[in-house]
Amino acid sequence: MNTPAYPALRLRRTRMTAWSRAMVAETRLDPSDLIWPLFVTEGEEEAPIASMPGVSRWPVEQIADRAKEARDAGIPCLALFPNTPPPLRSDKGDEALNPDNLMCRAIGAIKDALGHDIGILTDVALDPYTAHGQDGLVNRDGEVVNDDTVSVLVEQALNQAQAGADIIAPSDMMDGRVGAIRAALEDDGYTNVQIMAYAAKYASAFYGPFRDAVGSGGLLKGDKKTYQMDPANAEEALREVALDLAEGADSVMVKPGLAYLDIVAKVKARFDVPVFAYQVSGEYAMIEAAAAAGAGDREALVLETLLAFKRAGVSGVLTYHALDAARLLGS
Ligand code: PBG
């Protein structure tokens, strides 16, 4: 057998120096790839979230300052989530429709301060407002009912659009909600309000810290498996995406993130649309715990995982690390 004296090709050659690695890099991460989720609370004080070290709920009075920090770091969009005071939670989640609720006041505060300088994405689902912690209306058998829930979600979306939301992001996983919301937005003249559908949202164990943050965790009985997707399925995610696009979604989201990058890649390969991913609360907590335990360098872990999303094909990532990451990338 003839063994060549040298490898015909040395892939290490282009890796030898930083300038060369930069030249052949296939993927780049930029602050404009990041969407920063922010939690809003009543009261005057910043409220740290124990299960998400480094993340707080912010009073409405301070939310515009966070928005300015994001804008200054090059982040194009915020995602807002309210921690509704327990007395305002009800079986039907009526507080979601209050034009003066926490979300609407937070949207107003940011828009007053920054106008069109930053986008605001709002979550459509009833879980921060219901006394039972489910995303929709529950019937006597404990079942989350689809069509009546969609009617309420449409009203919730209109309430957010009226307050100034730029992107409506239904995260409830009811059937038919994107079409219903799109039609209502058109009817009411919100033709330029976008819809980012949480199209492939899985029933995941990674949402725990978020449910602490919005205060729905302790209330939730049972699980969300009758509406959120089974982690076993990928083909079904493509059907969800196809439906949401047909119903008028401008972009789609895959959630959670890291454990579902195969879904991101499949969606991107099949559909020529902007695809986003949500690196969720449990993923944030996992990275923070690893770094705190000395199992990895925090900044490196953050940037590597975010880059992986880009490599898989996303247009952007919702991440609680957005401000830190944007500042690291900008410096
Ligand atoms: C509400 C909603 C959830 C998340 C975003 N929107 C929780 C859930 O579905 O139970 C999770 C986000 C995160 O974990 O960071 N439907």
- Three-state DSSP state, 74: coil
Q: What is the pLDDT of residue 318?
A: 98
pLDDT band at 11 (very low <50, low <70, confident <90, very high): very high
**Dist. CA 211 → ligand 1 center (Å):** 7
The fold for domain 28-330 equals TIM Barrel (3.20.20)
Q: What is the pLDDT of residue 153?
A: 98
Give the nearest ligand 1 atom to 280 CA.
15
Model pTM above 0.95: yes
Residue 135 in contact with ligand 1 by CB distance below 6 A: yes
Give the DSSP per-residue string, 88-115: G-BSS-GGGG-TTSHHHHHHHHHHHHHG
* Vertex 151 angle, CA 248 and 210, to 5°: 80
Quote the percentage of the chain above a pLDDT of 70: 100
Residue 128 contacts residue 83 (beta carbons within 8 Å) = yes
**Positive/negative CA dihedral, 39, 41, 44, 48:** negative
Q: What is the pLDDT of residue 1?
A: 61
Q: What is the pLDDT of residue 22?
A: 97
Alpha-helix runs per DSSP H in the chain: 18-24, 60-72, 102-114, 146-163, 177-187, 208-214, 235-246, 261-270, 281-292, 298-312, 322-330
Residue 207 in contact with ligand 1 by CB distance below 6 A: yes
Which residue type, as a one-letter code, is found at position 40? V
Q: Which of 255, 266, 268, 310 is catalytic?
A: 255
**Complex confidence, ipTM:** 0.97
Active site residue 201: yes
Q: What is the pLDDT of residue 260?
A: 98
The DSSP output letter for 51 is T
Quote the percentage of the chain above a pLDDT of 90: 97
For residue 312, pLDDT beyond 70: yes
Q: What is the pLDDT of residue 3?
A: 75
Q: Which of 111, 201, 266, 268 is catalytic?
A: 201
**Dist. CA 210 → ligand 1 center (Å):** 6
Q: Which of 229, 211, 268, 265 is nearest to 245 (CA)?
A: 268
User: Distance (Å, rounded) from C-alpha 159 to C-alpha 148?
Assistant: 17
Active site residue 266: no
Note the pLDDT tens digit of each residue in 99-154. 999 999 999 999 999 999 999 999 999 999 999 999 999 999 999 999 999 999 99
Residue 130 in contact with ligand 1 by CB distance below 6 A: no
* Domain ranges, ordered by start, for the chain: 28-330
Residue 315 contacts residue 253 (beta carbons within 8 Å) = no
Residue 212 in contact with ligand 1 by CB distance below 6 A: no
How many helices (H) does the chain have, and how many strands (E)? 11, 10
Q: What is the pLDDT of residue 289?
A: 98
Q: What is the pLDDT of residue 252?
A: 98
Residue 59 contacts residue 46 (beta carbons within 8 Å) = yes
Work out the average pLDDT over 32-39: 98
Q: Residue 240, annotated ligand binder?
A: yes
Q: What is the pLDDT of residue 242?
A: 98
33-66 CB burial, b ≥16 within 10 A, e <16: bbbbbbbbbbeeeeeebebbeebbbbbbebbbeb
Mean pLDDT taken over the chain: 97
Note the pLDDT tens digit of each residue in 57-78. 999 999 999 999 999 999 999 9
For residue 209, pLDDT beyond 90: yes
CA 24 vs CA 42, 265, 305: distances in Å:
49, 21, 20
For residue 331, pLDDT beyond 80: no
Q: What is the pLDDT of residue 132?
A: 96
For residue 2, pLDDT beyond 80: no
Work out the average pLDDT over 292-318: 98
Among protein residues, the one whose CA lies closest to atom 5 of ligand 1: 171
CA 64 vs CA 70, 116, 322: distances in Å:
10, 13, 16
